[in-house]
Structures are given as structure tokens and as C-alpha cells.
Structure 1
Amino acid sequence: MASAAELDSPAAPLDTFRHDVRGWLAEHFPATLKGQDNAMSALDGPSEDTPEQAAWKKAMGDKGWGVPAWPKHYGGGGLDKAEVRVLHEEMARVGAWNPIGGMGVMMFGPTLLEYGTEEQKLEHIPAIARGDVRWCQGYSEPGAGSDLASLQMFAEDRGDHYLVNGQKTWTSGGQWADKCFALVRTDKSKKHEGISFLLIDMDAEGVEVKPIRLISGSSPFCETFFTNVKVPKGNLIGREGEGWTIGKRLLQHERSSLSGGGSAARMFAGKPMGALAKEYRGADEAGRVPDQDLRMRIVRHEMDARAFALTLRRAALEARSNQGPSAATSIMKNVGARITQDRAELSIEIMGMNGLGWDGEGFSAEELAQTRTWLWGKAVSIYGGSSEIQNNVIAKRILGMLDHQ
């Protein structure tokens, strides 16, 4: 039996929590789902959940552990950073994955928790925490990509509502989304100060979505048109003219997610690079990849990827103990993009002609998937803010460098 001193030690409550987490996972996580990916966060569209997947999602949503650090009274888990770490460790131990994700969790939810009214939080956060609502992002326009502040989609004040007209492009998952968080112009006489942050129902009259087919063969992005769309005034987040400030904060959350879960997962997805090289290039008498230069490049890549993964973990812990993500997310975004693209290029080189197949006989499903992953990866250094834009952020907000006219 533990002594009174042991029970009062800082580790005791955490040990109890870990024991409780293990018991809960044993009861609610189906063993048949072990090691599966989070289908809810995929950009290839929602798929029909199996009974086991649906039950797992409901259990995590009811518990609030899909968003474990969010406040409990909004449907989150209400856990502190140490408890979140334990939860992640125990889920990883049994091969469990988080079934609740998407842009509501990655970007909009954390932003609304900072800038939304109590009424807006109660309306939207619980549904995000349960995974009931799918969100998309209305930022880029045909003439406002890297220079996002040039956006022209206009929300005209009509008293009790706004009348929205304009176009957005590269709307990720727009064809499947229920709602959209968008940057709109409410004042044409000002650039940054004329932008507001508005929530729009995707099934509202006047919203039209056209998927864009990408070089990889998938269509996760859309052109989205808004024609005389009525949006209630209550869907304005913050005040008119605060959209640029709120939108920049949301981008920090986005970059944190892109450089974290997304990039890190892709880095270690599939076979280890060494095993892939031996499969396609063979091994010498010592069991090594024969090409010494290729061996060294694989080692350097694996070292970079693992060092980056550890840095991401440290940054995530620091963000939870402070005020969320900082401008440092721009560094993480750029490094994550480079390592992700390097891995795809290295894989194609290792596989040779087998890594360049598009269709037909002679290629395995894994080889065809690698071709598409390689092509898709070209966008990693563009979406979420291009590498050039991130370099500007790093120069100005981290290195303190100012423009000299």
C-alpha cells in the first residue's frame, strides 16, 4: 500500500489519471481500429463510418478527448498539458487515433476560443468538439493569394444582416463542408482595416462550389462563389475591421497544425526509408544499401525528420503553457515543408521507374500512391502561406528586420 507521502507526491494524481485513461481506452477503443488514420481530417472527402468508427468517435466526443485541452464547459476535455501528454502516450501505446479533427479543430476552434463571444462559443465549439460539423476556410481569392489583404469579396451592411458577394479559391473540402469561416471586406476605403471575419453557412442560398482537379488526380480544393448570400450579423467574429488581426491569429494555428500533425505524420508514414531502399536497390554483404551516397542522404533525412519531430513536441508543450502558437510556427512550417518534399523526392529516386507510374499494370498500389504523394507534396510549400511569405514573417517578427524604403 502506498504511504501518505507517496499519495501526496506530484506524480500520484498523474499516475491515477494514467490508470484511468488505460481503463477507459480498454473499454471504448475497438481493437479492430488499431493503427488506423484519422479519416475525419482527410481532404479526400468524408467516408461512411463503420459501426466501430462511429462508436469510437461518439465515445471520444462525449468524453471531450477529441480536443482534450479545450475547456470542459464547451465540450472539451479540460485537461492540463501533463494530462494531455499522458493521454497521447496511452493512445499511442494501444494504437488509438483521434477520430475528431478537421479545420474546426485545427484552426477555427482555437481562434473562436480567443475572439468569440460567449454566445458564439456555446453555439459552435461543442459541435466542433463532437465532430458534428465540418468547416472550410474562405481566405484566398483569384487576385488575393500571397497578398491576402487584397481580397475583394464584399459584405454589404443591410441592417440586420450582411449581403455577401465575391469568390474564394482553394477552399479545402468546400464541397463537403457545412460552414465556412471567411475573411471579407466590409470597408473598401481601407486595406487591412477594412477586412472582417465572418461565418457563412455553406448550404445558404447563393453559395456555389466547384471542385478543382489537381495534378495528383484528387479534387480536395474548390472554387467557391457567393452571390447575394445573406449572413446574420451574429456571424461576425470580433468587430468590423478586426478580421485581419483575427485572420492572422488563425493562420498561426493553421501553420502549427500543418507543420505538426500533418507534416510529422507524413514523414513517418509508410516503410522506413532504409527498408524501402533495400527493397528496390538491394543490399550488400553487410546488409547495407550498396550506394554509399544514397545511404548518407537517407541517414541525413532521417536525422532531420526525427530532430524536427522532437522540436515540434517541445514547441507544442511550450505553446500550451503560454498563449498558443507564436510566429515561430513560420519556421516550423518551412522546415516541415522541406523535409516532407525531400522525403517524397528521395522515395521516387529510390523506386526509380516504379515510382513514376500513374496507372495500368506493372505498378503496385503503393507505387501509384507514391507518385501521387510526390505530386501532391509540391503544394506543401505553398498552401498555408508560401515559404516566401513565411520567410518574411520570420525576418520581421523573429529576427526584428524591418523594410527599408
Structure 2
Amino acid sequence: MEATGLDADELFRAEIRGWLEQNLTGRFAALRGRGGSGREHEDFEARLEWNRHMAAAGWTCVAWPKEHGGRGLSISQQVIFHEEYARADAPARVNHLGEELLGPTLIAHGTPEQQARFLPRIVAVEELWCQGYSEPGAGSDLAAVSTKAALQDGQWVINGQKVWTSLAQHADWCFVIARTTPGSSRHQGLSYLLVPMDQPGVEVRPILQLTATSEFNEVFFDDARTDAELVVGAEGGGFAVAMATLGFERGVSTLAQQIAFRSELDAVIAAAHRTGAIDDPLLRDRLVEAHMDLEVIRQHALRHLGGEQGHAASVTKLLWSQWHRSLGELAMAVSGPQGLLTAGEPYLLDDLQTLFLFSRADTIYGGSDEIQRNVIAERILGLPREARP
């Protein structure tokens, strides 16, 4: 008799837990805990090999429909997968942007030809992706994009600059929002283009961060080209597709992020015991509050699982970004004066210092807190629009 419901979920949990236990061994054992926010530089090539090992065993793109190479997991099983992956302390995956963002976008909005061209290579981790949204003058305000693209001889010719482009230095392709209708403004006239990175018209410049690493990059397009058919959705209708991508970004995988947050909170609590900060009643109260707030964030996320997240995703982003930034501040509070000193020369940071410095960006990237509050106010609560120039 085929298992159903809770029985099927528990069987699945045992399956993924067992596979991780059996495979995070040997040459992959040293990858436990590697990667993650502020540490994407760690063992990148080895983590790429691990991702391809997962692909060979059918453990990539597990939420995708089976006809597109996924496992077609239920929402509960997707949650279980991400929970068990995080609890196994498995390394951060290098294919997140392709698997969790672009792939679901192509499944929902791409042509059959685009799906056939790109989805199998994402499943196999043969091509890596980056996201070309933010610009120097259009960070969280995506409608202010000024990068332009024009059709010439069957190709889009792209000119402009993107910034804060995560892992562009490793990417084979970039999904780019560009203005394709001359004279258009705001949400109108934008298109969602798929652009190869390995070409003369694309230059990637790493951005040195406070953590002394360079996950983020500037990307310059100088007559870069891509084929005319590599526009996702309608020409000029790219804003809606871009919003769909952001909705997928804030889906089930955010639960794994919260489990990772729990591990960071545990590390902060351990540091508080080690330094004696746990005896300070004010700091102890802050630690208890952090624990309770994280559970609230988890319950909120569980209420809004499945498909494109819509405007409720702005609430989720606002909650976790503020919580994580506060956790970084709490990490320094429990570290005491020692937290002001590097762990080694020339600029070696410990995990709590990296947490503090990188979490300063949480309320900015992926849509700043100010933008999220506007979305919540105007599109969820129905309040008057903010005055715009």
C-alpha cells in the first residue's frame, strides 16, 4: 500500500536525512557549514562539485514538476527537504539563483523552447545564473531601471550597468531587466532578458565588502548581445515577470534560511555563556526575545507557502531582515571588547564578526525596508501612495 499524508512525509524525511548522512562523508565531509551569507567564497569549486553530486542523485530542483526534471514535491515535503538540509549543516548551494528564482520563473512564464534550453542545465548544475536587477540609480526601485536594450539583426543589444549582482563572477548567464521601449518610464517598457555572461560586451567588477569578501559585483553591459527569442514573457511586460521572480525568491527556501538563523542564534547564546554575558539580565532578555521573534517569523512564513508569494512576501522580508540585523548587533554585545579585535592578520574575522558585518546589508538587498513598507502600506493596507517626483 502506498504511503500517504503524514506517513509519506515521514518516509521522505527519513530518505533525505539518510542520503545526507551517507553522502556528506569522504571528500564532502569538510564542506559541512561552508558557504552562506558573507562566506560565499568558501570552497566554491568543491561546493559546485557537491551540487553536481546532488544533481546526479536527483536532489536538485526538488520543488519543480517532474516533467521539468524536478521531483514535484508537496509543500510539506519541500519544507522537510530544506529543514533536513539545514540541520545536516550541508554546504550552501551554488545554484540558488537558477534553481529557486529563474527556473520557477521559466516554468511559469517561459516558452517551451526556453524551458527546453535552460531547465535541464539548471537541474544538472551545468550553468549558473546571476540576477541583473539593481542599478546605481535604481536599487530597490526596480521601475527606475535605465539599462537599455534594442533589437538589431535578430539580437538584443544591451547597454547599461547593474550593481550588487551576487556571484556574477561565477555565472554563465544573467536574467536582466532592461528598458526596451524608447521613451517609456516606470513599470512600462521593461523586458526580462536572458543574457550570456561570457562575451566581450560584459565586464564584471567585484565589490570589496566589509567582510573582505566579494559576493557582490558591478556588471557593465557595453553592446552585449543576446538572441531575440530570449525575452521571458511579453516584450515590455518584464516588470510583472520580475515581480514573479521575487515572489519565488521568498518562498519555501526561506524556511531553510530560518533554520540557519537558528544555528547562528545558538552560536550567539554559546558565546554569551563563554564570555559571561549570559549573566547580564538585559542581554539575557534580548536573547530570549530573539528566540521568540524567530519562531514568529517561522509561523508567518508557514502561513504563506506555495507558488508566487505576492505582496505578503514583503512582510516576510521585513521581518527576517530586521531580526537578522539585530542578531548581528546582539552577537557583538555578547562578544564584548574582544569583538572589536580581528581573529588574525591581516583581516581574519570570526563567525560572529562576519554575521554582524554582513547582516548590515540585510535591510537593503532584496528590496530595502523602506520599499517593503511602501508595498505593505499601499498594496496590502490600501493606504494612499507615497508622493513621487
Superposition pairs for residues 4-403 of structure 1, below 5 Å?
Answer: 17=12, 28-30=23-25, 33=29, 36-37=32-33, 39=35, 43-44=40-41, 47-49=44-46, 54=49, 56-88=50-82, 99=93, 101-191=95-185, 192-256=187-251, 260-262=255-257, 264-269=259-264, 271-281=266-276, 289-312=278-301, 314-315=302-303, 318-320=304-306, 323-358=307-342, 360=344, 368-403=350-385
SS at match of 1:234: coil
CA distance in 2, matches of 1:8, 1:377: 42
Aligned-residue CA RMSD (Å): 3.1
1:207 Cα offset (Å) = 0.6
8 Å CA contact retained: 1:209, 1:225: yes
CA distance in 1, matches of 2:366, 2:229: 27
Structure 1 residues 272-281 or 80-89, which shifts more? 80-89
- Residue of structure 2 in register with 1:286 after alignment: none
CA distance in 2, matches of 1:163, 1:296: 56
1:63-104 deviations in whole A, cap 9, x for unaligned?
432221101222211222344345456656766567463211
Query: Number of aligned pairs?
Result: 384
CA distance in 2, matches of 1:233, 1:395: 38
TM-score by length of 2: 0.87
1:58 Cα offset (Å) = 3.7
8 Å CA contact retained: 1:259, 1:337: no
Q: 1:138 to 1:16 in 2, by over 3 A?
A: closer
8 Å CA contact retained: 1:134, 1:178: yes
Report the residue type matching 2:233 in the other structure: G
8 Å CA contact retained: 1:267, 1:343: no
1:62 Cα offset (Å) = 2.9
CA distance in 1, matches of 2:45, 2:146: 37
Percent sequence identity over matched residues? Answer: 34
TM-score by length of 1: 0.83
1:352 Cα offset (Å) = 1.4
1:371-401 deviations in whole A, cap 9, x for unaligned?
2321221110000010000001111222122
Q: 1:29 to 1:370 in 2, by over 3 A?
A: closer
SS at match of 1:193: coil
SS at match of 1:400: coil
Where do 5+ consecutive residues of structure 1 fail to align? Answer: 283-288
1:114-141 deviations in whole A, cap 9, x for unaligned?
1101111121112212222211111111
1:263 Cα offset (Å) = 5.2
Q: 1:163 to 1:36 in 2, by over 3 A?
A: same
CA distance in 2, matches of 1:208, 1:8: 52
1:150-206 deviations in whole A, cap 9, x for unaligned?
211111111411111111111111122111000001112221221100011110121
CA distance in 1, matches of 2:141, 2:83: 40
CA distance in 2, matches of 1:261, 1:179: 25
8 Å CA contact retained: 2:61, 2:123: yes
1:148 Cα offset (Å) = 2.2
1:29-71 deviations in whole A, cap 9, x for unaligned?
5376398136488633762328xx83x5344213432221101
Structure 1 residues 302-311 or 86-95, which shifts more? 86-95
CA distance in 1, matches of 2:81, 2:164: 34
8 Å CA contact retained: 1:139, 1:168: yes
Which gives a bigger RCO, structure 1 or 2 (Cα 8 Å, sep 6+)? 2
8 Å CA contact retained: 1:211, 1:220: yes
Q: 1:245 to 1:46 in 2, by over 3 A?
A: farther
Where do 5+ consecutive residues of structure 2 fail to align? Answer: none
SS at match of 1:273: helix
CA distance in 2, matches of 1:45, 1:257: 25
CA distance in 2, matches of 1:77, 1:158: 40
8 Å CA contact retained: 1:153, 1:184: yes
1:15 Cα offset (Å) = 5.8
CA distance in 2, matches of 1:259, 1:126: 24
Structure with higher Rg: it is 1
CA distance in 2, matches of 1:167, 1:372: 28
Q: 1:404 to 1:334 in 2, by over 3 A?
A: closer
Q: 1:161 to 1:210 in 2, by over 3 A?
A: same
SS at match of 1:48: helix
- Residue of structure 2 in register with 1:285 after alignment: none
